[in-house]
Amino acid sequence: MRLPYLLLLTTLSLAAQNQELGLLLGNLRGIDSPKLGSGTALQANYAIRLASAGPLKVFGGVNFLANPQRKVTSANPVVIRDVATIYLTPELKVKLGERRLQPYAFLGAGLAVYEHSNLTTGGSPNPGPRTTNTGTFTYGGGADVRVIRWFALRGELRDNYSGAPVYNIPAGKQHNVSITGGFVLRWGH
């Protein structure tokens, strides 16, 4: 009988805290890998306030960033033709300000998933794996511009530093930088 009450209290406690859900759209590009082109960045993030001290707020959350396809260009015919990407990263965010403009910075680590093309740039079947998973370290910053109490506009610059896709040639870690913009829904007190 105590479990339903505990669940209700936990739910009410979470609902009373500041929470936010951001939906963003932008561009993702590989910086250290000139052979990996740019593509659309589809991003969603959820955060809940963990602590605050005056205008400084600390949030814990999770970010999801996906890209359906980035083309790979190379003169080497064994290199994959394209790659799709997902980054899933728990993170801590520090936000400043209670006014209309609220800049923030974040830091986190999680998982990068790369799905490789079936064909190489030379047109033959890809001899490498179809997917690969690797760790990723994410960091960056942005700003929210409050429109009304529960709605804000957001702009963000993010770097997911991760292992590279399996290009079928040697490759090290790479920076995957996204520039996105969108909106944030907020609730709680």
Please compute, for residue 50, the number of CA atoms within 13 A of its CA located in the half-sphere on the CB side. Answer: 11
Please give the CATH architecture assigned to the domain spanning 19-187: Beta Barrel (2.40)
Kindly indicate the confidence band of residue 7, based on its pLDDT and cuts at 50, 70 and 90.
Answer: low
Q: Domain segments of the chain: what residues?
A: 19-187
In the prediction, which pLDDT does 32 show? 62
For CA atoms 156, 161, 162, 163, give the dihedral sign.
Answer: positive
Kindly indicate the confidence band of residue 3, based on its pLDDT and cuts at 50, 70 and 90.
Answer: low
DSSP for 43-100, please give it.
EEEEEEEEEEETTEEEEEEEEEEEEEEEEB--SSTTSBSEEEEEEEEEEEEEEE-SSS
118-137 pLDDT, tens digit each: 999 999 999 999 999 999 99
Residue 2's SS3 state is helix
Mean of per-residue pLDDT scores for the chain: 90
